[in-house]
Amino acid sequence: MYKKFFLTLNNELEIEFDLIDNGISQLWAQEIVNDYPLYETERFYGWPNTEKNIDYYINELNNCIDKLPYDIKKIDRYNQEYLNYLHRYFETLRGPHDIGTDVYNNSTELEKSIVDRFNVLIHETEHYLRHNNSPELVCTYSNRPRHLLSIEHYDLFTFKWEYGTVYINYCEVGKTILDVFKDRDELVENIKPLEHYSSDFMIKFGLTTLESVYQYRLIQVNKFIKEQGFNFKHNSLGYIPVARLSKHVSVDTISKHQKVTKTCIK
């Protein structure tokens, strides 16, 4: 049985986590053990003392738009409504995870990488606009498989975030119910609750959510689901936790090492 997860940043800082005994952490750990090549290693959202301000995101998004041979309108100032438009465009362009679209499938590898980068930037910008003082990081792997969640795993979803906790990351093409709710997104066409898990993960380093705040938000989200008439088999609200910090590491310490260079399970 695996017990520890280790994350190395910039080949300098190693952070240790304890695996949570919850019925899926061992499955996730086995995916990490498979040692797939690291893919996205610099997805650090909302960290202090970085160049990633609103002007940075405007420039990066426009750079992607300039490089893509598609008709996407540009604007010099972003808000959530415009980001909803961009996300809908990405979904239409990209298509389902395992199928794609004719346009995406016939694009060059460079164009595909720009499309994928475009999506990441949309989510980073949304995070910046929503809660810039709530740091997190996301790490993904190349050519990693996805596996269907089992029925018992759906009880593990939560959005009662805890500082220093590792969660299985979203690995679908679409938008979660929780994100549609937070973004008040009336343009989205592909609402896709999480049905798979992979080695990809995210780690929250913002303030731990108070129980009272979580319960209030849960009431609001469930009210929204009822009003929208959603009828998914599983709502998958939030993400599934799989590991927690073994020893506290500060945001200031991590913010100086913003690249994942190694992951390890023991």
Spatial neighbors of 104 by CB under 8 A, at least 6 apart, are 93, 94, 95, 112, 115
**Mean pLDDT within 25-38:** 97
Q: How confident is the model at residue 263 (pLDDT cuts 50, 70, 90)?
A: very high
Q: The whole model's pTM is what?
A: 0.85
Give the tokens for residue 192: 């896709």
Q: Is residue 159 within 8 Å of 128, Cβ to Cβ?
A: no
Other beta carbons within 10 Å of 27: 15
Spatial neighbors of 73 by CB under 8 A, at least 6 apart, are none
User: Which pLDDT score, from 0 to 100, does residue 113 have?
Assistant: 86
**Mean pLDDT within 103-111:** 82
User: Which pLDDT score, from 0 to 100, does residue 232 have?
Assistant: 96
Residue whose C-alpha is closest to residue 146's, from 103, 109, 192: 192
Q: Residue 159 corresponds to which amino acid? A: F
Give the C-alpha separation, 131 to 104, whole Å: 32
Kindly list the distances between the CA atom of residue 88 and the CA atoms of 47, 62, 175, 202, 224, in Å, as whole numbers in the listed order: 27, 16, 9, 23, 20
Query: Higher-confidence residue: 100 or 118?
Result: 118
**Mean pLDDT within 90-103:** 76
According to CATH, what is the number of the domain 1-46+134-266? 2.40.100
Give the C-alpha separation, 179 to 130, whole Å: 11
Q: Residue 229 corresponds to which amino acid? A: G
Provide the 3-class DSSP secondary structure of residue 257. coil
Other beta carbons within 10 Å of 214: 16
Report whether pLDDT(139) > 80.
yes
Q: How confident is the model at residue 77 (pLDDT cuts 50, 70, 90)?
A: low
Q: Is residue 32 within 8 Å of 5, Cβ to Cβ?
A: yes
Q: What is the pLDDT of residues 32-71, one digit of tens each?
A: 999 999 999 999 988 887 888 888 888 888 888 888 767 7
User: Which pLDDT score, from 0 to 100, does residue 17 have?
Assistant: 98
**Mean pLDDT within 179-200:** 89
Report whether pLDDT(155) > 80.
yes
**Mean pLDDT within 239-256:** 96
Q: What is the largest CA-CA distance in the chain?
A: 52
Give the tokens for residue 106: 């016939």
Mean pLDDT lowest among 8-22, 63-77, 232-246: 63-77
Q: What backbone torsions phi and psi does residue 94 show, to the nearest 5 degrees?
A: -80, -45
User: Which pLDDT score, from 0 to 100, does residue 76 have?
Assistant: 63
Q: How confident is the model at residue 220 (pLDDT cuts 50, 70, 90)?
A: very high
User: Which pLDDT score, from 0 to 100, does residue 132 have?
Assistant: 60
Q: Is residue 147 within 8 Å of 197, Cβ to Cβ?
A: yes
Give the C-alpha separation, 29 to 166, whole Å: 11
* Rg, Å, the chain Cα set: 18
Provide the 3-class DSSP secondary structure of residue 177. helix
- Helix H or strand E segment including 216: helix 211-228
Average pLDDT, the chain: 90
Report whether pLDDT(133) > 80.
no
Say what percent of the chain tops pLDDT 70. Answer: 97
List the domain boundaries for the chain.
1-46+134-266, 49-132
User: Which pLDDT score, from 0 to 100, does residue 55 have?
Assistant: 85
Report whether pLDDT(131) > 70.
no
In terms of residues, how long is the chain? 266
